[in-house]
Amino acid sequence: MDSGTARERILILRKRLEEHNYRYYVLADPLVSDFEYDRLMEELIGLEREFPEHFDPASPSQRVGSDISREFTQVRHRYPMLSLGNTYSPEELAEFDRRTRKSVEGEFEYVCELKYDGVAISLTYEEGVLTRAVTRGDGEQGDDVTFNVRTIRSVPLRLKGESYPSLLEARGEILMPRRGFEKLNEEREQKGENLFANPRNAAAGTLKIQNSSVVAGRPLDCIVFGIMGEGLPFDLHYENLVRAGEWGFKVSEHTRKCNSLKEVYNFIDHWEKNRSKLPFDIDGVVIKLNDFKLHRLLGYTAKTPRWAISYKFPAERAATKLLSVDFQVGRTGAITPVANLEPVSLAGTTVRRASLHNEEQIRLHDIHTEDTVYVEKGGDIIPKIVGADTSKRVDGSRPVEYIRNCPACGTALARVPGEAKHYCPAQNTCPPQILGRIEHFVSRRAMNINMAGATAKLLVEQGLVADVGDLYSLKTEDLMQLERFALRSSQNLIKSIEQSKKAHWSRLLYALGIRFVGETVARKVAEAFPSAGRLMDAGMDELHAVDEVGEKIAASVTGYFSVESNRNIIDKLRRSGVTMEADGPEVDNAGDKLTGKKFVISGTFLRHSREGLKAIIERNGGKNISAVSPNVDFIIAGDNMGPSKLQKAKELNIPVISEEQFEDMLES
């Protein structure tokens, strides 16, 4: 491969990996298995090493993906939460062992642990009391989810005994057992809500719920796999884990010390064969050196420890009969073929449906009706068909035909050049698209309207809502005509809709569901075009100049606003009083009203983003402070304010004011 060809491949790999990073770490909605992702990353690293002239400090190979959510306070880790290097074969593991022995004199012990398929968490204990729980985030900082973690019964709120250090950090994995996951999905299906794809997604989604009482009702579990801090009882990993169990942590009974690579192989082989017998998902084994002195000796690379590695299991595969193929319509009009299968046991669950992705994949795998097909399920993805057993093909069977018209509304399908999926272009008349866009619009990360999927479906079916603009015309008496709606529930929904009018302009832009405009892009575009009017009049060149907005996104945005029905929706929202501008009007208040005053901002807000509040404070002569101290004059508190900040504010007698009180302060 010459340098020019390598550059083209490197750029393709970087683009794919960035998208997978975003979907995995931010949206918790992965499109590929860990195995597929890691192989892409290995290929990129290999090419960048072979062709160093194409080095880029912003390459996905130079950083760890982030799951940081702006709805939570971000906290910097005391000790970085680094990811592990991966191996997939005994030969690769033997190479890790050889590298280690070159640097270590004499014999040493390995510790083998299950690699849980959940969400990494850092638990801080001060004087034996849980004070903070933080997600891994980007490895350097993560989300403070203490309120939610406190509801998990396997997480001790106070440690047992007296031998633990005064400041202790436990590293663990929050996961959802399969049985609890299946029950949760059954309940969501009965309510007409979207189902979680797998237990890991369910655990990740639950941790990011703002209402901790909802989290308390979810079957989360937490297994601790590491202890950090000064003054630990041992300089050995395994022995500290055993002691952690005595302190009240849930530690795995399956963790083993191994004195040779052969014992490590035996451990891996056992769990690769028996992982389905566990009550929760694992996707491999973690191998660590036991002695902390060797940890310090071997040290770290930029992203991974040299004294630990993971062995990833290949995705499990099963063969079953293809019964039929359904074609589903998503909220953006994307058509997804889904195979209905004879039930088959796979990775500890019963699989009845699997994705066929798109027409190209159906042709690639040569899928025929009534075929015996191979179904694969990585630890964190929806099952997919990866091939057919042609030796068992039924005589007279025919290739699966991809549809040419929308299964919901009959409109002829279209295919965007360069994309694999087909789309139904009837976005404002196709029922599944109408419902999907409404469900997206009301979701927590969009307009945060307290409406279940079943309610949205009912509103559409009863003709009360034809687009998102109609939500703001609903009245209490309209809702009381619906099944399961009484006066109070109707009033609560109307109140929630009314409150959503104050949502930040960037959230409205994301809520509109414009193709390719996710949360990050919506924030960037909203900053560049601080009102709906300015964005609607923007041209391709203006949009393309915005950071992270490429030609495809720019074309999607201009295309959306060129459709008359979409402009009518914007007009409905404007006339209803929905916020259509960024935090711009406060510029008029700029002056010296807050000179000398120091503020701490904590929580989430309806009228402003946290960045917007900080800008207002600075424009008016005030100063933003990150931590609560005696020097702080006011704390502006929104929903889910950090408990430690609130407690410290009370101790220091610092006034805690609301968003509305802060606005009054500016006006007075």
The pLDDT value given to residue 57: 55
pLDDT tens digits, one per residue of 443-491: 887 999 999 888 999 999 999 999 999 999 999 999 998 888 999 999 9
Report how far residue 246's alpha carbon sits from residue 422's, in angstroms, rounded to the nearest whole number.
57
**What is the β-pairing status of strands 167-175 and 221-228?**
antiparallel
Mean pLDDT of 67-85: 74
Q: Which residue, among 433, 435, 468, 427, has the nearest Cα to 453 in the 3D structure? A: 435
> So what's the pLDDT on residue 634?
92
For the stretch 496-541, pLDDT in tens is 999 999 999 999 999 999 988 988 789 889 988 989 998 999 999 8
Q: How far is CA 578 from CA 60, 162, 514, 606, in A?
A: 38, 56, 18, 12
pLDDT higher than 60, residue 252: yes
Encoded tokens for 73: 């306070």
d(CA 558, CA 546): 14
Lowest-confidence segment of 49-58, 203-212, 463-472 by average pLDDT: 49-58
Q: Worst-scoring range by mean pLDDT, 16-20, 326-330, 366-370, 410-414?
A: 16-20
DSSP string spanning 80-123? --PPPPEE-SHHHHHHHHHHHHHH--S---EEEEEEESSEEEEE
pLDDT band of 587, cuts 50, 70, 90: very low
pLDDT, tens digit, 9 for 90 and up, residues 172-192 = 999 999 889 988 888 877 766
Confidence of residue 380 (pLDDT cuts 50, 70, 90): very low
Residues 6+ apart with CB under 8 A from 523: 506
Q: What is residue 519's predicted lDDT score, i.e. its pLDDT?
A: 80
Picking from 483, 508, 480, 505, the residue whose alpha carbon sits closest to that of residue 494 is 480
Describe the crossing of helices 453-461 and 431-442 by its angle, rounded to 10 degrees: 140
Task: Quote the DSSP letter at residue 435.
Answer: H
The residue type found at 504 is H
Cα–Cα nearest to 635, from 614, 656, 607: 656
Q: How large a percentage of the chain has pLDDT more than 90?
A: 45
SS3 for 476-533 is HHHHCCCCCCCHHHHHHHHHHHHHHCCCCHHHHHHHCCCCCCCHHHHHHHHHHCCEHH
Q: Residue 340: which pLDDT band, with cuts at 50, 70 and 90?
A: very high
Least confident of 24-38, 145-159, 638-652: 24-38
Task: Categorise residue 493: left if φ over 0, alpha if ψ from -120 to 50, beta otherwise.
Answer: alpha
Q: In this structure, is the dihedral angle defined by the CA atoms of residues 454, 457, 461 and 467, taken in order, positive or negative?
A: positive
By the 8 A CB rule, do 166 and 125 touch? no
Claim: this prediction has a pTM higher than 0.85: no
Whether pLDDT at 379 is above 60: no
What is residue 311's predicted lDDT score, i.e. its pLDDT? 95
- Report how far apart the first and last C-alpha atoms of the chain are (Å, whole number): 69
CA distance 525 to 502: 19
**What is the model's pLDDT at position 382?**
66
**Spatial CA neighbour of 123 closest among 224, 230, 204:** 224
- 607 pLDDT tier (thresholds 50, 70, 90): low
Q: What is the pLDDT of residues 220-232, one digit of tens each?
A: 999 999 999 889 9
User: Which residues have a catalytic role annotated?
Assistant: 115
Token pair in block for residue 1: 């491969």
d(CA 324, CA 397) in angstroms, rounded, equals 12
Looking at residues 537-563, what average pLDDT do you find? 89
Residue 256, class by beta-carbon neighbours within 10 Å (0-12 exposed, 13-18 middle, 19+ buried)?
middle
- Phi–psi pair at 541, nearest 5 degrees: -65, -40
* Residues 415-454 pLDDT 10s: 877 788 899 999 889 999 999 999 999 988 799 999 988 8
Q: What is the mean pLDDT of residues 28-47?
A: 76
Please tell me which residue, 22 or 418, carries the higher pLDDT value: 418
3-state secondary structure 377-434: ECCCCCCEEEEECHHHCCCCCCECCCCCECCCCCCECEECCCCCCEECCCCCCCHHHH
- Give me the amino acid identity at 443: S
The closest alpha carbon to 113, from 224, 201, 220, belongs to 224
Tally of CB atoms within 10 A around 666: 16
Is pLDDT above 60 for 590? no
Q: Give me the mean pLDDT over the 19-31 stretch.
A: 59
Domains and CATH numbers, the chain: 3-62 (1.10.287.610), 74-312 (3.30.470.30), 316-401 (2.40.50.140), 431-575 (1.10.150.20), 586-667 (3.40.50.10190)
- As a residue count, the chain comes to 668
**Which structure tokens are listed for 575?**
């006339």
Calpha distance 201→220 (Å, rounded): 12
The rounded distance, in Å, linking the Cα atoms of 434 and 470 is: 12
Lowest-confidence range among 57-71, 589-603, 638-652?
57-71
Q: Is pLDDT at 71 greater than 70 in this prediction?
A: no
Mean pLDDT of the chain: 86
In tens, the pLDDT along 111-140 reads: 999 999 899 999 999 988 889 999 988 788
d(CA 13, CA 6): 10
Alpha helices, DSSP H, located in 114-260: 146-149, 178-190, 199-207, 212-216, 237-247
Answer whether residue 29 shows pLDDT above 70. Answer: no
